[in-house]
Amino acid sequence: MRQLEKIIKSGKILSGVGGLYRVFTDEGEIKECVARGILRHGKLTPYPGDNVLIVGSGQGKNAIQEILPRKNNFSRPNAANIDILAVTVAAAEPSPSYITIDKLLCAAEYYGSEGIVVITKSELSPERPKK
């Protein structure tokens, strides 16, 4: 049996469910991939946002070969390389939880991301000042 040629591409993980990852390649393609055993045995888990190298056989079987260095890594939810963390809250119902907003903005600062607050449903609460 002849050896299949390996194709190596780089990309970014969009999502991962049940050990199957969707990777957006630098060529603009979306590839379905599994994590190589070397990652699982090294206890490295790929997260959405990870920049990765994938290998494929050219016959639709793709695998994540390597996870490139991360800028940051959020644990809840699992995500990597986050540049901007948008905290979305309603101006009216439900009432915003200021402690949760504060925690999320602190997490963004801690992990080196920019934190922004997006306020929605402002038309439902005209008595609150608009800024």
Q: Where are the domains of the chain?
A: 7-67, 83-124
pLDDT tops 80 at residue 100: yes
Overall pTM > 0.85 = no
SS3 state of residue 107: helix
The CATH number of domain 7-67, selected from 2.30.300.10, 3.40.50.300, 1.10.1040.10, 2.40.50.140:
2.40.50.140
pLDDT of residue 76: 80
- For the chain, helix, strand, coil in percent to 5 are 15, 40, 40
The torsion region of residue 82 among left (phi > 0), alpha (psi -120 to 50) and beta comes to beta
Interatomic CA distance for residues 59 and 109, integer angstroms: 43
Q: What is the pLDDT of residues 8-47, one digit of tens each?
A: 889 999 999 988 999 999 999 999 999 988 887 878 889 9
- CA distance linking residue 82 with residue 50, whole number of Å: 9
Residues forming a β-bridge with 78: 75
pLDDT at 69: 94
CA distance 84 to 121: 22
> Percent of the chain at pLDDT above 90?
56
